[in-house]
Structure 1
Amino acid sequence: MAKLLNNNHLLLSTPPHVRVSASPGRTSFSALRFLSFNCFPSLQQSSSDSDFHGQRIVPQFQFGVKNPRTGSLQASSAQMSLTIGKAQKWWEKGIQPNMREISSAQDLVDSLLSAGEKVVIVDFFSPGCGGCRALHPKICQIAEMNPDVQFLQVNHEEHKSMCYSLNVHVLPFFRFYRGAHGRLCSFSCTNATVKKFKDALAKHTTDRCSLGPPKGLEEKELLALASNKDLSFNYTPNPVQPSPTPALEIIAALQPTPSNLEFPLPYTSKATEDTQQQKVLSTNIGR
């Protein structure tokens, strides 16, 4: 092995503790470790100090090429390639086409308004929540069996301020929305109480139609997001239209009050007056 390295002009000094296998084309683990940590000093840095930010580094070595005719190992330039593998996060595993992560408050509002009559489930989770991690595989299975339902994931750690404005303080937490009905229900459940989630899904995915445009978040939630200085979200509340006054109220307002009414005196004709006088005279004579 040392001869192969010298022929390729590699200025390496193998210390006594490095063991090189005598089998052609094989290098012991201690030799690989020595080469990786002495030929590439940057690999000795900790994950927090390096530029790889904790990603796994897999060194791959190639010291020779086997001759297809003779089967012997021919000397070639020693090569080393670094394969940087990105470990998949648990909330990224099993994701279905109808599942996606929310990037901002504006993204959440727009996603709810553009969903139309489709049922939208907002899933609030945290990377450090054990209950969220245990429940995630079942949520992915449910999303696969319900392709017409939109699942929106909200990372509590990345959007903590937004979750506070939406009064989300317990995890895992879910909110169901649909069309003009707006929010249908909200609750927290775990892996042990996932039946609560399935029952709500069966109840609100029944065929029905809600007239009017989608509501999405409630008015007070939109105002809370707009007043949050940590969020770049703007919202202009709709002006409140005065309710029309019923016609009966208008008529009653135009009528005069009883205190202003003037009642006419009773009308008495001349003939009636003469008759009454005669009755009075005849009564007096009879006495």
Structure 2
Amino acid sequence: MAEVLSKSKLLFPSEGRSVSFSGMRRSNSLAGLHLTLSPSFQSLRFSSSSSFSSSIGNGGVALGDWSRRRPLERNAIDSLHAKMSLRIGKSVKWWEKGLQPNMKEVQSAQDLVDSLLNADNKLVIVDFYSPGCGGCKALHPKICQFAELNPDVLFLQVNYEEHKSMCYSLNVHVLPFFRFYRGAHGRLCSFSCTNATIKKFKDALAKHSTDRCSLGPAKGLEESELLSLAANKDLSVDYNKKPMPVPAPDDVAEATPISPMFSPTRVLKGSEDKVFSKVG
């Protein structure tokens, strides 16, 4: 029993005029119903004649009773809002397009530190970009292609606009900028490139993406970088400098070489080699 309200009107009491609207569907007859919209367009009110009624199921409901009428009006309001609202789809930002499963957005400095340490022996490429950087925008589709062709490589994306303080501590002052890390080797290389110099990125990826095994846990950031991040008051990084091991006295004694009383000195004279002994 769906019907279209083609003759209903929106009333503007303060201006003494009304605006007709159509296209709202409902499951019951609403003949004689008027929707009143306040001048501020923030509230919506119904009015109807006392003879206004509707049938629901097998029984009748008189809408003259306000408490009985409210659920039906609420449905009408929801339908009206759906028709009058502007439906604008959420636009996808350029740095969110074409992302692959092995691409991750870094959320904080601690997230960057942990991601590198948890990568084990996997090659990790940190991509520093900015939403307002034209070179970053032009290069992004190719970086996504590289990520798709190299699923074993982890791509970490760092938004410069959201993490300026962190980038400053890591001495990143040019964009787009890339750093390669792997296992116990730590940082392998770092450079900036654009579409014109994309070969630099291809060569580095081909060189460092080959299978290899590094002994020991992943190193991640350099110690100087970790200390710089930890000292930055704008960041929250949990890092304490590891103390240098102090050798035991016995180890020092064993490690100290004992100079011999005689040390041979070889002197070359002509074609004959003569060895002299010098008293120490």
Q: TM-score, normalised by structure 2?
A: 0.64
Which residue number in structure 1 is paired with residue 196 of structure 2? 192
Matched, 1:249 2:253: no
Letter of the structure 2 residue corresponding to residue 154 of structure 1: V
Partner secondary structure for residue 81 of structure 2: strand
Alignment equivalent of 1:144, drawn from 125, 145, 148: 148
In structure 1, the partner of 2:177 is 173
Question: What SS class does the counterpart of residue 139 from structure 2 fall into?
Answer: helix
Shift of 1:242: 3.9
Match runs of 1:215-254 below 5 Å: 215-242=219-246, 245=252, 247=254, 249-252=256-259
Does structure 1 residue 80 correspond to structure 2 residue 115? no
Instruction: Give the secondary structure class of the aligned counterpart of 1:122.
Output: strand
In the alignment, what sits opposite 2:118?
A: 114
SS in 2 for 1:79: helix
- Structure 1 residues 40 and 140, CA, compared in 2 at 3 Å: closer, same or farther? farther
Question: Once the 2 structures are TM-superposed, how far is the Cα of residue 38 of structure 1 from its aligned partner?
Answer: 9.0
Q: After TM superposition, give the deviation of residue 160 of structure 1 in Å.
A: 0.2
Query: Residue type matched to 1:241 in 2?
Result: P
**2:157 alignment partner, one of 134, 153, 157:** 153
- Paired residue secondary structure (2:234): coil
Task: Give the RMSD, CA atoms, in angstroms.
Answer: 3.1
User: Relative to 1, partners in 2 of residues 1:202 and 1:4: Cα closer, same or farther, differing over 3 Å?
Assistant: same
Q: Structure 2 vs 1, CA of residues 14 and 177 (structure 1 numbering), >3 Å: closer, same or farther?
A: same
Q: How many correspondences in the alignment?
A: 203
Q: Greater helix share, 1 or 2? A: 1
Kept in 1, the 8 Å contact 2:136–2:194? The answer is yes
Inter-CA distance 168–251: structure 2 relative to 1 (3 Å threshold): same
Question: C-alpha distance in 1, partners of 2:194/2:101?
Answer: 23
CA distance in 1, matches of 2:232, 2:113: 15
TM-score by length of 1: 0.63
The residue aligned with 1:213 is 217
Residue 229 of structure 2 contacts residue 237 of structure 2 at CA under 8 Å; is this kept in 1?
A: yes
- Return the offset for 1:93: 0.6
The answer to whether the 8 A contact 2:11-2:18 is kept is: no
Shift of 1:159: 0.4
Unaligned runs of 5+ in 2: 24-36, 43-74, 262-280
- Tell me the distance in 1 between the aligned counterparts of 2:136 and 2:246: 46
Tell me the amino acid that sits aligned with residue 4 of structure 1: K
Q: Deviations over 1:220-273 (max 9, x none)?
A: 0000000001101131111112466484625459x9xxxxxxxxxxxxxxxxxx
Q: Which residue does 2:127 correspond to in 1?
A: 123
Task: State the SS of the aligned residue for 2:92.
Answer: coil
Unpaired stretches in structure 1, ≥5 consecutive residues? 26-36, 43-75, 256-287
Residue 151 of structure 2 aligns to a residue whose secondary structure is coil
